Amino acid sequence: MTRKNQTLGEFIIENQKDFPYASGELSRLINSIRLAAKMVNHEVNKAGLVDITGAVGETNVQGEDQQKLDVLANETFINTLTNREIVCGIASEENDEFITIKGQKNDHRNNYVVLMDPLDGSSNIDVNVSVGTIFSIYRRVTPSGTPVTIEDFLQPGNLQVAAGYIIYGTSTMLVYTTGNGVNGFTLNPALGTYYLSHPNMQFPEDGNIYSVNEGNYVHFPQGIKDYIKYCQEEKDDRPYTSRYIGSLVSDIHRNMIKGGVYLYPNTAKSPNGKLRLLYECNPMAFIAEQAGGKASDGFRRILDIKPTELHQRTPFVCGSKNMVEKVESFMQK
């Protein structure tokens, strides 16, 4: 149930009974993500004001070591989740290995693992373009009370219990699903409170936006080249319009509101594409499906891929259902 002026805190409490397992643990976990996102938002917003955007290891005008925002965001999320002893493990796009969390008191007894891309699209920060955080939550599969193993992280996306993203844009929004639809909350920075602004978000079934880095066109598979030509053809409701920010969260967020498809195909140089299955594609695919959209690697459902390694990549096509199906039909020709 949603109502006007509802805050994210109220929404989490009121919908807790609908959460899988409903022990309160998942609610506390989402609360911790909400808090870390506020801290990262604060840093992202002042990125243009302070010497924080330089490379790691450089020294700012005060003689302090600079930390890049993606490193800072990574630490903020990891510390917030670790200090609250809310998860048993974390995997991050920024870290080679997963992190095991024992907890001071509970000896590996938390039930959830989090996988995240703490600051996606971070090359956009220097030019004041929106970036995002993406997160994905699973229940562990190994027994409680033992340290997590790689098996807890290498689960197919269809076993996610929650996923979401934060977009640090003209306003900051947290959008998430626990498998019961998608809801979006906008941060009022003066109060530090997120309000439900986009209840029950839905991808339009069709759209006229395609989002792809056309600079890579010559390297794309023939099916993707043909689809792009189809989008550009003068016929029916075409040509479609091309919109590409180069920031996955922003491109998907816009397409979910307006109707469109995002593509990051494989190329000869990157035979598995660029995006990471566990940190980027699975959470976005879960959100897309919960919002009535679709996500595919061109041939199969993203959420059904059984991962074999933490930093695995996959081609990615995500957006309005009819548009994703059209791309698949071109790929399968």
The residue ranges that bind ligand AHM (CB under 6 A) are: 93, 117, 120-122, 213, 246-248, 251, 274
The length of the chain in residues reads 333
Residue 80 binds: one of ligand AHM, Mg ion, none (C-beta under 5 to 8 A by kind):
none
Instruction: Provide, rounded to whole angstroms, the least separation between the CB of residue 246 and ligand AHM.
Output: 4
Instruction: Give which of ligand AHM, Mg ion, none residue 149 binds (C-beta under 5 to 8 Å, depending on kind).
Output: none
* DSSP conformational letter for 126: G
| Residue 280, annotated as binding a ligand | yes
For ligand AHM, give the closer residue by CB, 6 or 74: 74
- The residue among 98 and 227 lying less far from Mg ion, judged by its C-beta, is 98
Cβ neighbours of residue 271 under 8 Å, at least 6 residues apart? none
How many of the other CB atoms lie within 10 Å of CB of 179? 14
Nearer to ligand AHM, 6 or 92 (CB): 92
Quote the tokens at residue 69. 């925002």
240 is in an annotated binding site: no
Beta-carbon contacts of 42 under 8 Å, excluding residues fewer than 6 positions away, are none
Residue 78 touches which of ligand AHM, Mg ion, none (CB < 5 to 8 A by kind)? none
27 annotated as a binding-site residue: no
The whole-angstrom separation of Cα 137 and Cα 143 is 17
Ligand-binding site membership of 65 (annotated): no
- Alpha carbon dihedral 110, 155, 313, 328, in 10-degree steps, equals -130
End-to-end CA distance of the chain: 44
Tokens of 198: 């986009």
Please say which residue, 117 or 328, places its beta carbon nearer to Mg ion: 117
Q: How far is the CB of 193 from ligand AHM (least distance, A)?
A: 27
68 is annotated as contributing to ligand binding: no
Is there a contact between 135 and 120 (Cβ–Cβ < 8 Å)? no
**Of 86 and 293, which has the nearer Cβ to ligand AHM?**
293
Applying CB under 5 A, the residues found at the interface with Mg ion are: 117, 120
Binding partner of residue 223 among Mg ion, ligand AHM, none, CB under 5 to 8 Å per kind? none
User: Would the annotation count 120 as a binding residue?
Assistant: yes
Q: Residue 122 binds what, of Mg ion, ligand AHM, none (CB under 5 to 8 Å, by partner type)?
A: ligand AHM
- Closer to ligand AHM by Cβ: residue 92 or 320: 92
Which residue spans within the chain are E strands per DSSP? 89-92, 99-100, 112-120, 131-139, 162-168, 172-177, 182-188, 193-198, 209-211, 241-242, 260-264, 294-296, 316-319
Interacting partner of 246 out of ligand AHM, Mg ion, none (Cβ under 5 to 8 A depending on kind)? ligand AHM
Least distance in Å: CB of 68 to ligand AHM? 12
Nearer to ligand AHM, 84 or 219 (CB): 219
Shortest distance in whole angstroms from residue 262 CB to ligand AHM? 7
Nearest of 299, 298, 287, 231 to residue 260 by alpha carbon:
231
| Annotated binding-site residue? 303 | no
Note if the bond before 147 is cis, omega within 30 degrees: no
Calpha distance 257→108 (Å, rounded): 40
> Does residue 227 have a known ligand-binding role?
no
Q: To the nearest whole angstrom, how small is the minimum distance from the Cβ of residue 283 to Mg ion?
A: 11
Residue 32, binding choice from ligand AHM, Mg ion, none, Cβ under 5 to 8 Å by partner class: none
Q: Is 123 annotated as a binding residue?
A: yes
DSSP string, 171-195: SEEEEEESSS-EEEEEEETTTTEEE
**C-alpha angle 104-114-66 in degrees, rounded to nearest 5:** 85
Binding residues for substrate: 120-123, 213, 244, 262-264, 274
Binding residues for Mg(2+): 93, 117, 119-120, 280
Binding residues: 93, 117, 119-123, 213, 244, 262-264, 274, 280
